[in-house]
């Protein structure tokens, strides 16, 4: 069984190693990321087009904007810095959550479970602000849970208040996560052994901010940024099963949760975790499925459709942490069993396996992304002018699995090394929205991709 210290340090090293590698290979350019980079260098300013998520957008773009203001014109370096900001923002919050939970095996297992089940298998689309909100919510919940019976402190209240203010405009999932955090904050206030006036007011203000985040989410859903956005989101939410990585991880966790509810005493044994580990083994071997010409394989584009279900998983884990540290644990036998060191250690060991099981498929998808970018670069550099999608390697298997039609022209501009490089246009018959007419691409001036 891994010790708390080993698990904490190992997962910390893993998420930072992945964040740095993903930044180096420019994984932030996937789908919307390419359009973001083009707009940033075109405007030479932040690309913050959606007010309900503006705080997360600006925070993630700080590294690339700093480089722009310093005069960097290398699109390759800017792409890496944009990726760095996108990956580092949630990774920083998960790091702080791991650090806070490292002294309690069960809470540490909860944080690692969020990283394994939610972050790693849904973050290929790292430009999505949901990656940030889930990390922020996890950090807030852990800080509240670990301070349950302690007196209110000014420093702690300042941190909670700052995180609450940041959470107002980061993602629509605050619709339900906001009230949950507000209730947990007020519970923390009521449980505190001492209530100095200023920290108490800050905690109450933080609860208000969480509810403000929920109200912003409601407004964004009532008045969506584009026609059909809400309907499309609801439709995609039902398709979470298309994300093989998420589905197998979620299934493994459900096996353990179901077992704990039916036979809580078994949490001190290996049996429930061994059954869950079967699905983790399948996930670890899932890159082998790519040997066949089927869609039964890890897919980068399918990660996005699991984002809504992932938010419900985060909410469930937060609720579990709250119950674990509350007096309600005396009423639930499973929580009482987890108070035993042996049961807590087994839970931590199982949680530790969750992110490890994702790594092989993550490496596989990242390798396919590297090949995809090379194909785009080779294509636009070998031909000038307008390039039909059907005449490129991207139209063939398996590169086509990474293609998003509306962003092809943006990717061409982001990867151009000279003015004469070509521009790949969407497939014939594609008539949906594009950020600019492919035949009239914007002039990015002095910005070029340099190898």
Per-residue model confidence as pLDDT tens digits over 201-227: 999 999 999 999 999 999 988 877 766
Q: Token digits for 177?
A: 């996560």
Q: What is the reported pTM?
A: 0.95
pLDDT over 70 (residue 329): no
Residues across the chain: 451
The pLDDT value given to residue 132: 98
CB 109 within 8 A of CB 256: no
**Count of alpha carbons within 13 angstroms of residue 54, beta-carbon side:** 10
Please report which confidence band the pLDDT of residue 33 belongs to, taking 50, 70 and 90 as the band edges.
very high
Average pLDDT, the chain: 93
The pLDDT value given to residue 437: 83
Total domains in the chain come to 1
The CA-atom distances, in angstroms, between 79 and each of 27, 319, 364, 416 are: 9, 37, 21, 12
Cis preceding linkage at 426, omega within 30:
no
pLDDT over 70 (residue 286): yes
Q: Token digits for 83?
A: 């990726």
Q: What is the dihedral of CA 435, 437, 440, 445, to 10 degrees?
A: 10
Is 231 within the bounds of a domain? yes
Please report which confidence band the pLDDT of residue 157 belongs to, taking 50, 70 and 90 as the band edges.
very high
Please report which confidence band the pLDDT of residue 22 belongs to, taking 50, 70 and 90 as the band edges.
very high
Q: Which of 16-30, 123-137, 225-239, 341-355 is predicted with the least confidence, judged by mean pLDDT?
A: 225-239
Q: Which of 94-98, 259-263, 356-360, 438-442 is predicted with the least confidence, judged by mean pLDDT?
A: 438-442
Secondary structure of residue 396 in the 3-state scheme = coil
Measured between alpha carbons, how far is 207 from 148 in angstroms, rounded to an integer? 16
Please report which confidence band the pLDDT of residue 403 belongs to, taking 50, 70 and 90 as the band edges.
very high
Of all residues in the chain, the percent with pLDDT exceeding 90 is 81
pLDDT over 80 (residue 328): no
Q: What digits encode the pLDDT tens for the residues 407-436?
A: 999 999 999 999 889 999 999 888 888 888
Q: Token digits for 18?
A: 């992945």
Q: Which residue has the higher pLDDT, 331 or 96?
A: 96
Measured between alpha carbons, how far is 316 from 235 in angstroms, rounded to an integer? 22
Is 279 within the bounds of a domain? yes
Is 141 within the bounds of a domain? yes
Q: What digits encode the pLDDT tens for the residues 293-307?
A: 888 889 999 999 999
Is 440 within the bounds of a domain? no
Is 436 within the bounds of a domain? no
Measured between alpha carbons, how far is 15 from 9 in angstroms, rounded to an integer? 10
Measured between alpha carbons, how far is 436 from 442 in angstroms, rounded to an integer? 8
pLDDT over 80 (residue 263): yes
Is 425 within the bounds of a domain? no
pLDDT over 80 (residue 230): no
Give the range of the structural domain holding residue 183, as residue numbers without chain letter.
4-20+35-356
Is 380 within the bounds of a domain? no
Q: What digits encode the pLDDT tens for the residues 116-145?
A: 999 999 999 999 999 999 999 999 999 999
The pLDDT value given to residue 166: 97
Q: Which of 168-177, 242-251, 290-299, 384-393 is predicted with the least confidence, judged by mean pLDDT?
A: 290-299
Q: What are phi and psi of 388, to 5 degrees?
A: -70, 135
Mean pLDDT of 310-325: 96
Secondary structure of residue 262 in the 3-state scheme = helix
pLDDT over 70 (residue 228): no
DSSP state of 170: S
Is 145 within the bounds of a domain? yes
Q: Token digits for 430?
A: 């594609």
Q: Which residue has the higher pLDDT, 228 or 399?
A: 399
């Amino acid at each position: 069984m891994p010790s708390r210290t080993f698990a904490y340090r190992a997962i910390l090293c893993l998420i930072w190693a992945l964040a740095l590698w993903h930044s180096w290979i420019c994984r932030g350019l996937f789908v919307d990321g390419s359009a973001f980079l083009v707009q940033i260098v075109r405007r030479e300013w932040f690309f913050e087009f959606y007010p309900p998520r503006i705080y997360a957008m600006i925070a993630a773009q700080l590294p690339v904007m700093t480089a722009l203001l310093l005069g960097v014109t290398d699109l390759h370096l800017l792409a890496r810095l944009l990726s760095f900001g996108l990956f580092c923002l949630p990774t920083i919050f998960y790091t702080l959550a791991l650090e806070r939970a490292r002294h309690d095996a069960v809470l540490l297992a909860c944080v690692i479970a969020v990283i394994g089940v939610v972050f790693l298998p849904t973050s290929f689309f790292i430009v999505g602000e949901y990656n940030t909100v889930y990390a922020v919510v996890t950090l807030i919940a852990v800080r509240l849970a670990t301070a349950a019976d302690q007196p209110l402190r000014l420093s702690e209240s300042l941190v909670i208040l700052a995180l609450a203010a940041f959470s107002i405009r980061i993602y629509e999932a605050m619709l339900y996560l906001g009230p949950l955090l507000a209730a947990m904050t007020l519970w923390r206030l009521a449980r505190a052994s001492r209530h100095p006036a200023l920290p108490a007011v800050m905690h109450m203000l933080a609860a208000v901010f969480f509810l403000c985040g929920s109200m912003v989410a409601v407004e964004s859903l009532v008045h969506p940024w584009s026609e059909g956005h809400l309907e499309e989101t609801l439709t995609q939410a039902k398709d979470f099963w298309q994300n093989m990585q998420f589905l197998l991880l979620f299934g493994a966790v459900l096996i353990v949760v179901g077992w704990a509810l039916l036979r809580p005493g078994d949490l001190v044994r290996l049996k429930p975790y061994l059954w869950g580990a079967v699905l983790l083994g399948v996930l670890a071997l899932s890159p082998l499925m790519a040997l066949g010409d089927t869609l039964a394989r890890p897919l980068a584009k399918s990660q996005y459709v699991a984002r809504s279900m992932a938010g419900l998983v985060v909410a469930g884990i937060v609720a579990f942490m709250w119950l674990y540290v509350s007096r309600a644990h005396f009423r639930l036998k499973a929580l009482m069993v987890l108070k035993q060191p042996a049961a807590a250690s087994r839970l931590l060991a199982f949680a530790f396996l969750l992110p490890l099981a994702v790594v092989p498929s993550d490496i596989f998808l990242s390798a396919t992304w590297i090949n995809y970018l090379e194909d785009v670069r080779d294509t636009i550099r070998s031909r000038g002018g307008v390039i039909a999608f059907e005449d490129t390697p991207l139209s063939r298997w398996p590169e086509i699995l990474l293609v998003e039609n509306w962003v092809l022209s943006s990717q061409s501009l982001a990867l151009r090394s000279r003015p004469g490089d070509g521009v790949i246009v969407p497939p014939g018959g594609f008539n949906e929205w594009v950020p600019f007419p492919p035949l009239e691409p914007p002039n990015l001036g002095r910005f070029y991709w340099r190898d």
